[in-house]
Amino acid sequence: MKKFPEDFVWGASTSAYQIEGAYNADGKGPSIWDVFTSIPGKTNNGETGQVSGSHYHKFKEDVALMKEIGIKAYRFSISWSRVMPTGKGEVNKKGIQFYSNLIDELLDAGITPWGTLFHWDLPLALQLENDGWIGADISDYFAAYADVCFEHFGGRVKNWITLNEPWVAAILGYGLGHFAPGRTSNSEPYLAGHNQILAHARAVDVYRKKYAHQGGQIGMANNCDWREPLTDSPQDKAAAQRALEFFLGWFADPVYFGDYPAVMRERLGERLPEFTPEEKELVKGSVDYFGLNHYTTMYAAEATGAASKQAAESNAGLTEDQDVELSVDENWKRTTMNWAVAPWGCRKMLEWIDERYGHPEIYLTENGSSWDDWKVNGKVADPGRIDFYRSYLEECHKAIGQGIKLKGYFAWSLMDNFEWALGYSKRFGLIHIDYQTLERTLKDSAYWYAEVIRQNGV
């Protein structure tokens, strides 16, 4: 087994809507996902997160299992509408109490909490009354909500993530319409992305100005798949680079450089909003570390017009804006999400970030895979997941050897959960959940992960 640096952070991730259930308990307000899942046809079998893994009621059991696996850090998200039922104004004491109890339970177990402020479950009232992420005031509301979270939890939570995957919220929520709020447009995603960047920066500003004494760190978690040029041609190399700039540069360039990638400006023109000089100032430098959610790799080739429209796969973005044709090698192993297993792509992704953004500290805030698993004598076998983690962690280890400042790794996910539009059909967890009885069982991969953590001496 390979040794990672002593201070390497070994963790697992979840998000509120995917595991908590208790969708209307104790004063929680509805979120856009509560409503989206009630629209016929939006999710697999009409499944919802109303009950899910019932983590809201079973969090003590879940923390005990984390302890058993040996996980040292736990990344969870706070449900905005549990804490503020309408997204603004009044605070729900019972919602605050739930997260407060969870944080105490984690600290008692010796597990470091990592809090995500927004993992897609926008309060419904903000969608109906303020147009959600395309509304003009959303960053004010987000900053006020962040302030409440820092005030109540920041004494104990020292690691913050403002937004989870703004790309997904923008592209799948406002472009392709597969996720809540289910809108389709070729311009709204860029406005939704813009407002998310501003909201992130406003929250960070609150944190740095008002809560510096808490002594924590704050960043955002962006998702990006690797894009490997299909051939050595200059056209395909440029296509892969363009795809990465549209995917990750869209959000990371503003926070590192103060503005969008030039290629986005060229191709999107007026559909891409502009930052004012004051906004640029606010946005630039608004992260303390680079948070990356990474899952898979695709080949990228130059495409034009109709060909590029046809190329749209689930995680392609608005390909017609990029003129990139994506494909995978038929020989690559695929997970039940149909995502290719290509661990070398993870290392190349880390190299790209390291080089482009000037050697930042990087945390892999999500990496994992979905596989069907099965029970053998009461134990849950999931060999595909062990292989996946082993191969991706090997590439992480190589990256560290190359001098890349990878500081931590969070498995997605701690437990099986509601996989958004795909419902409960896709299983990502280290912990198996039987949804009939809500019973938890550790999978083989959880025992394997525990062993990796143990052998790394933490």
Q: Would you call 188 a catalytic residue per the annotation?
A: no
Residues that contact ligand PNW, how many (by CB under 6 A): 13
Q: Which residues contact 218 (CB under 8 A, 6 or more apart)?
A: 160, 161, 162, 203, 204, 207, 208, 287, 288
- Within residues 401-420, the interface with ligand PNW by CB under 6 A covers 412, 419
368 token code pair: 């994992």
Residue with the shortest CB distance to ligand PNW: 315
Q: Is 445 in the site for ligand PNW (CB under 6 A)?
A: no
Binding flag, residue 222, ligand PNW (CB under 6 A): no
Q: Tokens 């472009």 map to which residue?
A: 175
- Segment interacting with ligand PNW, rule: CB under 6 A, options 47-55, 100-108, 162-170, 202-210: 162-170
Based on the residue annotation, tell me whether 366 is a catalytic residue of this protein. yes
Show contacts with ligand PNW in window 200-219 (CB under 6 A).
Answer: none
Q: Is the dihedral of CA 235, 236, 241, 244 positive or negative?
A: positive
- Token pair, residue 287, equals 């992260």
Q: Does 162 bind ligand PNW (CB under 6 A)?
A: no
Shortest Cβ 430–ligand PNW spacing (Å): 14
Residue 366 C-beta: closest distance to ligand PNW, Å: 6
Query: Distance between CA 23 and CA 12 in Å, rounded?
Result: 23
Q: Which is nearer to ligand PNW, 133 or 275 (CB)?
A: 133
CA 193 – CA 275 distance, rounded (Å): 12
Cα–Cα distance between 381 and 444 in angstroms, integer? 5
User: Is-contact 146 161, C-beta < 8 A?
Assistant: no
**Complex with ligand PNW: residue 70 or 175, whichever CB lies closer:** 175
Q: What string marks each residue from 248 to 287 as x (binds ligand PNW by CB under 6 A) or -?
A: ----------------------------------------
Of 165, 245, 279, 325, which lies in the binding site for ligand PNW, with binding defined by CB under 6 A?
165
Which residue's structure tokens are 């919602």? 95
Given the complex with ligand PNW, which of 62 and 419 has the nearer CB atom? 419
Q: Is 324 in the site for ligand PNW (CB under 6 A)?
A: no
Measured CA to CA, the distance from residue 73 to residue 403 in angstroms comes to: 23
Residues 299-318 that bind ligand PNW (CB under 6 A): 314-315
Which residues in 71-90 contact ligand PNW (CB under 6 A)?
Answer: none
Of the pair 44, 235, the CB lying nearest ligand PNW is at: 44
Among 47, 245, 320, 366, which one carries the catalytic annotation? Answer: 366
**Which candidate, 306, 84, 43, 318, places its Cα nearest to that of 186?**
318
Question: From the CB of 165, what's the least distance to ligand PNW, in Å?
Answer: 5
Question: Using the rule CB under 6 A, is 223 a contact of ligand PNW?
Answer: yes
* Whole-Å CA distances, 303 to 242, 268, 308: 12, 17, 5
Q: Across the strands, what pairs with 441?
A: 432
E strand or H helix at 75:
strand 73-77
Within 8 A by CB and 6+ apart from 102, the residues are 59, 63, 76, 113
Q: How does DSSP assign 261-329, residue by residue?
A: -HHHHHHHGGGS----HHHHHHHTT--SSEEEE---EEEEEE--HHHHHHT--TTS-SGGGTTEEEE--
Residue whose C-alpha is closest to residue 419's, from 172, 96, 175:
172
Using CB under 6 A as the binding rule, whether residue 20 contacts ligand PNW is answered as no
Residue from 168, 192, 199, 292 that binds ligand PNW (CB under 6 A)?
Answer: 168
Identity of the residue, 109 or 312, whose beta carbon is nearer to ligand PNW in the bound complex: 312
Binding of residue 112 to ligand PNW (CB under 6 A)? no
The string of DSSP letters for 331-386 reads TS-B-TT--B--HHHHHHHHHHHHHHTTS--EEEEEE------EEETTEEE-HHHH
Contact status: 62 vs ligand PNW (CB under 6 A): no
Q: Pick the catalytic residue: 165, 228, 325, 395?
A: 165
Which CB atom, from 286 or from 413, has the smaller least distance to ligand PNW? 413
For position 15 contacting ligand PNW by CB under 6 A, the verdict is: yes
Query: x/- contact string, 361-390, with ligand PNW (CB under 6 A)?
Result: -----x------------------------
Q: How many angstroms separate the CA atoms of 240 and 226, rounded?
A: 9
Pick 86 or 319: Cβ nearer ligand PNW = 319
Give the interface with ligand PNW as residue ranges (CB under 6 A). 15, 18, 164-165, 168, 223, 293, 314-315, 366, 412, 419, 428
Catalytic residue positions, numbered: 165, 366
